[in-house]
Chain A
């Protein structure tokens, strides 16, 4: 770890307190949204592949909290949490999962391809590692246009073994681009443990190959995530230099909805042990200890979130399917 874990200061102004509580709400929103997503999937209301983010919420919320509205980001197919953290509406995302016309990509992308260009949210990508060079390209475009935004890429630890990762990091460092590569190391690429796939354990060390700044971050600790991301964002914005963050986290659910929570590749005991470091509980406890929220406040927050999630479900259920003519639109410019 680069620095000691940050803690909530003794004195917090009202605005910061509100911000802290909003992060808790975002994490709870992702959790409850994903739980309902799982239920809807089991009921056959959501099709295709569906990868839940439960357990990793502090990574998306803590890192996106460090961004500006004009920064851009991409992520893998495990993208619901990032989309919610970026402020995309629960309605638009749930409707997309249901394949409806009101979804964020009009029912054309589904779970793995969430997009909202107005928020700089450039996908939801389904090929492991392939969006890493695309993000280097986003950072290239920022530098080309002499902007001071950063381009952020989220991917799992399994992606670091493919060529796209290395090609992308090499060019980002070679050309001094404002890219932030966030490796969400949740220990398993589907059912293959990190140790069975990677010749080195510390993924952050791979940045040394490209003389790139890097950190290992506790991904269950929201403030640690936010602080590390602040450093990376400053490096990108002020110095136009890339960063690799290896964020250690854990996926509490299976790889996808067709994968049991534990199976041949990890034990029930291991999952239970990891669940003791639930990022939502950890942040909630910190807020309570700092007297920034109490149990009643959390209960009210939970109810408020649940209302939003149920509203998104109702919206998705009641929304129409895309018009059949939509099949042929958006293939080429002008095909709409």
Chain B
């Protein structure tokens, strides 16, 4: 184990996978000479050269399409978006092409590729740079959607994504790049579709992923001070969703709160609630409550921004609501 930042854990996954498989290459804006807008690709150009670490023009639709074409001929592209906000320009390539190639070709052509980059809000970046898009992509059959919360998961999930034979949407947390954690060295693979219990508890389950894992753990700590035992379940994989883990935890605590950074309407939590009410309704002692981003474009002002975000106090309040305390 080594203590690594989330950024360096991703870097390690990229380097290890590129060493292992010559068909893996990285393409995106500023990934090479600049070493990555967030330095995730630091050192890769020097090790692998410009054919495998490809700087692109600012042309998200274009290079996402290049990735789809390259994947169709058997390469394993990793397409980096400087942020997922910019990937909206490329969503046609992701949704209409990468996600559908296998199906509409009757299984003849596949797109083994990863689209990755930071998602969600950072600090005071305002409306166009502060959006969590997990639910957009999770809606689409043909795509897989991953969102790691810790450095160890970042490494293990990215390696799994690169080896996967389907297009994977890999959403990193912009505010997580500097966070540190123990990361297994070498071959560390986190299987796609497996949630992770980040904290065990008995009274209430907090379902979360990516950047809401930290406030969920803080909320659990605060609740513990009030003798409330909260379980924190990190989904890690949004699609496929680990419904077994969800049902197991819901059946154990009988009370569930779902926290996410994105908006409430048709959000990830809406799907989680649907699964739970349909399959383990009788286990519930209270309606499931959701904590989400406020239903507004993100404001710039820091007080307004804080009010818009899902944070630990809001999660604590939601837990108390489902516990009727």
Contacts and interface: CB of A to CB of B under 8 A. Distances in A.
Our verdict on whether A and B bind, yes or no, reads yes
A113 B105 CA distance: 7
Contacts of A136: 62, 65-66, 69
Interface stretch (B31-39, B95-103, B278-286): B95-103
B70 interface: yes
Nearest to A153: B69
A122 B109 contact: yes
Contact of B56 (A122, A171, A329): A171
A331 B51 contact: no
Nearest to B73: A141
A330 B102 contact: yes
B63 interface: yes
Nearest to A162: B61
Contact of A115 (B51, B75, B108): B108
Contact of A167 (B61, B107, B144, B166): B61
Interface residues of A, number: 49
A125 B102 contact: no
Interface in B39-83: 51, 56-57, 59, 61-75, 77
Contacts of B106: 103-109, 115, 330
B142 interface: yes
A138 B165 contact: no
Contact of A141 (B56, B69, B101): B69
Contact of A331 (B25, B56, B141, B165): B141
B2 to A, nearest CB: 32
A133 interface: yes
A149 to B, nearest CB: 9
B25 A144 contact: yes
B57 A138 contact: no
Interface in B120-168: 141-142, 144, 164-166
B292 interface: no
B110 A333 contact: yes
A167 B62 contact: yes
B44 to A, nearest CB: 16
A117 interface: yes
Nearest to B141: A331
A104 B63 CA distance: 29
B93 interface: yes
B92 interface: yes
B104 interface: yes
Contacts of B72: 122, 134, 137-138, 141
Contacts of A331: 102-103, 141-142
A170 B63 CA distance: 11
Nearest to B51: A144
A194 B241 CA distance: 48
A122 B164 CA distance: 21
Given A138-B73, A144-B51, A130 B103 contact: no
B107 A330 contact: yes
Interface string A169-184: 0110010000000000
Contact of B65 (A105, A117, A132): A132
A293 B76 CA distance: 50
Interface string A26-54: 00000000000000000000000000000
A130 B70 contact: no
Interface string A91-126: 000000000000111111100010111000011111
Given A127-B92, A132-B65, A163-B61, A141 B104 contact: no
Contact of A137 (B66, B110, B141, B144): B66
B59 A137 contact: no
B105 A105 contact: yes
Contacts of B65: 130-134, 136-137, 164, 167-168
Interface of B: 25, 51, 56-57, 59, 61-75, 77, 92-93, 96-97, 101-110, 112, 141-142, 144, 164-166
Given A145-B73, A171-B62, A334-B165, 14 more contacts: A115-B105, A117-B105, A133-B61, A133-B69, A138-B70, A139-B69, A140-B69, A144-B51, A145-B75, A164-B61, A331-B141, A332-B144, A333-B102, A333-B110
- In the A-B complex, the 8 residue pairs with the smallest Cβ-Cβ separation, listed nearest first, are A137-B69, A133-B65, A167-B62, A105-B106, A333-B165, A137-B66, A141-B73, A106-B106
11 contacts: A117-B105, A133-B61, A133-B93, A140-B70, A144-B70, A163-B61, A168-B65, A171-B59, A333-B164, A333-B166, A334-B165
